[in-house]
Amino acid sequence: MKKSPWRHFKNKWLIAAAIVIVAIVVLFWMRSRNKAPAFEFATASIGNVIERVSVTGTISPVDKADLAFEKGGVIARVNVKVGDKVKKGDVIASLKSADDAASVRAAEAQLAEVSRSLRPEEYASDRASVDSAAISLANAEKSAKDALRDSYVKAQGAIVNYADVFFTNPQSANPRISIQNQDLNLQRSISDERLSLSDMLKEWKGKISSSDMSTGDLLFVSEGYLGKIKAFMDDLSPMINDLNPSNSGLSQTIINSYIAAMNSAQSNLNQAISSISNADTAFKAATAALNQAHDQFDLQKAGSSDETIAAQAARVEQARAILAKDSMVSPIDGVVTKADPSVGEFIAAGQSGFAVQNSDFKIEAFVPEADIAKIAIGNIASSTLDAYGSYVDFPAQVAMVDPAETVLEGVPTYKVTLRFLNADPRIRSGMTANLEILTHEIDGVLNIPYRAIVDNNGSKSVRLVSSDGKSYSSAPVEVGLKGSNGTIELISGLKVGDNVVTYVK
């Protein structure tokens, strides 16, 4: 078979193509070998690292008071209108207070009364009352002594002149009742009683004649003596009244005379008892009246007790406190922002009709938990207000960080309160403030861009560029503060001028 002349030509073409391809590959390899690495780098340098927390807050007054009366009443006076400036303690409005003012005056008058000393005319009147009571007591004492003597005479007469007719040898050491009775024990008991009465009458008479006992004590013991005599008469009377001719052997005429004698004895005794009782009552009343007059006089001279004065002073303070509730005063320096009620209107207790806020403002911002640990009291912040644009700065300072969280839309946040460093009339309640809180700042430290850091499970490293700038290698580093502007502090691992990879193309 005859071979085609194109076969040799085709083989040569394939060889030429292969040579061209090899040449191209070699060319590209040579060009790529001489080309610089495709990455971006930054240089470690000395500078400042600043950490800031950005957050949005709302402006409100530092002090704000919604005011209400503690009691209901009719508005008598309104001293302010919205926009007026007031000082702490200024009266904003007041209620009608005539009744409360009268109560204060009455309480003060009573305090003056209990606090004052005795006037001359009062002293003379109280002294006269004491003297009059003393005279009454002296008269009562004289009447009591007359009653004592009269009672003794009547009691003795009741025994000696009437009761003794029923006894044999009644005033001897062995008196015996002469009335016969089947109850011998009763006869002996009555005879013994009569014997004791003789000694008692002598004792009683001696005490009346003596000045050793006071009138009151003498009246007391005399009532005791009369009680014993009455007991004797009470035992004797049934025996006499039960007599009849058949049980006594006496005629009715004699029995009647005995009964009359018994009645006379009891009548005299009752008169004696009544006289002593009346004298004792009068004497005690006169004594009590004199004591009362003395106590009243001493009390008036001494004036009211400290406790009485203190109690009345407390009533005055209470009345003044009630009167004070008729006036509404501003608790702060500030501007009136609400003044609704008018004169003549009734306002209920606790109904807010007035409000005051001061000219100092604060910013309240809610910081996420990821940033709250960075913020401390005293941190300075730059703030801009939406109303005036981003180029007008209103410096502020962190004044308080709430320890407890506030959950907003399911996310825990922490309220941070800032105070403006300078008063500015452009600041108004309710405005929105955009805050940049400076939390940390380190001057003159080695730093690089934060994006150059490689985090390998907690260990930090960088890609250090070689001296020819064509390659890089990993180098461990120790970092410090991370700045809000994208830089980070380097504590160790690099030196000034070292280049580190920030981006690989």
Residue-wise pLDDT for 352-384, tens only, equals 788 888 878 899 999 998 889 889 999 999 999
- Tell me the torsion sign for CA atoms 472, 477, 481, 482: positive
pTM for the predicted model, two decimal places: 0.48
8 Å CB contact between 374 and 416: no
Q: How far apart are CA 416 and CA 365, in angstroms?
A: 5
Question: 47-60+360-504: which CATH topology?
Answer: Elongation Factor Tu (Ef-tu); domain 3 (2.40.30)
What was the pLDDT predicted at 229? 92
| 196 torsion bin: left (phi>0), alpha (psi -120 to 50), beta (else) | alpha
Q: How far apart are CA 303 and CA 300, in angstroms?
A: 5
CATH fold match for the domains 47-60+360-504 and 63-96+326-357: no
What was the pLDDT predicted at 253? 92
Q: What is the pLDDT of residues 68-96, one digit of tens each?
A: 888 888 888 888 888 888 888 889 899 88
8 Å CB contact between 319 and 121: no
Q: For domain 63-96+326-357, which CATH number applies: 1.10.1240.10, 3.90.1860.10, 2.40.50.100, 3.40.50.800?
A: 2.40.50.100
8 Å CB contact between 463 and 473: yes
- For residue 412, CA distances in Å to 216, 345, 347, 404, 409 come to 91, 47, 42, 10, 8
8 Å CB contact between 279 and 148: yes
Q: How far apart are CA 293 and CA 134, in angstroms?
A: 9
Domain boundaries, the chain: 1-35, 47-60+360-504, 63-96+326-357, 121-302
Closest to 292 (Cα-Cα) out of 139, 134, 140: 134
What was the pLDDT predicted at 37? 60
What was the pLDDT predicted at 6? 47
What was the pLDDT predicted at 414? 92
- For residue 1, CA distances in Å to 4, 10, 448 come to 10, 19, 80
Residue segments in the chain with a per-residue pLDDT below the cut of 70:
1-14, 16-18, 20, 22-23, 25-37, 116-119, 122-123, 181-182, 299-305
Q: Extract the tokens encoding 134.
A: 């003393």
Closest to 334 (Cα-Cα) out of 354, 364, 363: 354
What was the pLDDT predicted at 11? 62
